[in-house]
Chain A
Amino acid sequence: DAGVTQSPTHLIKTRGQQVTLRCSPKSGHDTVSWYQQALGQGPQFIFQYYEEEERQRGNFPDRFSGHQFPNYSSELNVNALLLGDSALYLCASRDRDRGTIWDTEAFFGQGTRLTVV
């Protein structure tokens, strides 16, 4: 059973460009969250998608947007890239068959390392 899959694994972009990161949750998972982990820091919550809608959002500007597809996969889009957007971007999903949406843990992917130059 594949875990949470993210693509690409590494990416280099130039300031001002736009980037799209992709996430495929584990089989049987439905909710997808995105986190940004800057070097030497803990992950910071960007937003979460459930049933193709954004359900909660962290303190990130509108340059960060997302989408969830009917097959539960998700994309994170970042516009007008800044040097400070360089980070590891983590996707996490939740097992829809284990308890309520509130009391199950998140399963994380390996992340996409984005470097903005």
Chain B
Amino acid sequence: AQSVTQLDSQVPVFEEAPVELRCNYSSSVSVYLFWYVQYPNQGLQLLLKYLSGSTLVKGINGFEAEFNKSQTSFHLRKPSVHISDTAEYFCAVRVSGTYKYIFGTGTRLKVLA
């Protein structure tokens, strides 16, 4: 079975500081990897995805993530955060050839002024 672990439930960081949100997954088969962001009282918006190819993936709003197959990780990074980045971030996997996304429990990023 597949699973996703987001070790940090909350990450406070000062504005303009760098941030890394950690995601580890467990799967014995090929997976696709995603990061979604959820603002209060809203649905999920895709930040970036890894399907194949380059392990460094760039997304919207200055975010990037690196796929590390040996460590089964897909950590999300941003070199300089803004107040507007305050939100809940979800890492997700989808097993190749299936429809089902498996989400982590989320990391609440709080950017402080």
A residues contacting B by CB (< 8 A) are: 4, 31, 33, 35, 40-45, 48, 50, 55-56, 58, 90, 92, 101-103, 105-111
Contacts and interface: CB of A to CB of B under 8 A. Distances in A.
A4 B98 contact: no
A35 B44 CA distance: 11
Given A42-B92, A48-B99, A103-B51, 17 more contacts: A35-B101, A40-B105, A40-B106, A41-B105, A42-B4, A42-B105, A43-B103, A44-B103, A45-B101, A48-B100, A50-B99, A55-B99, A58-B100, A105-B34, A105-B49, A110-B41, A110-B43
Interface of B: 4, 32, 34, 36, 41-46, 49, 51, 90, 92, 96-106
A10 B44 CA distance: 17
5 nearest A-B pairs in the assembled complex, by CB-CB distance: A42-B103, A108-B43, A108-B44, A48-B99, A110-B43
Contact of A102 (B46, B90, B92, B97): B97
Nearest to B98: A56
A4 B49 contact: no
Contacts of B98: 56, 102
Given A103-B32, A103-B51, A105-B49, A56 B99 contact: yes
26 contacts: A4-B43, A33-B100, A33-B101, A40-B106, A41-B105, A42-B4, A42-B92, A42-B104, A42-B105, A42-B106, A43-B101, A44-B103, A45-B101, A48-B99, A56-B98, A58-B100, A92-B101, A102-B96, A102-B97, A105-B46, A105-B49, A106-B46, A108-B43, A109-B43, A110-B43, A111-B43
Contact of B46 (A55, A58, A103, A107): A107
A110 B41 CA distance: 8
A74 B45 CA distance: 20
B41 to A, nearest CB: 8
B107 to A, nearest CB: 10
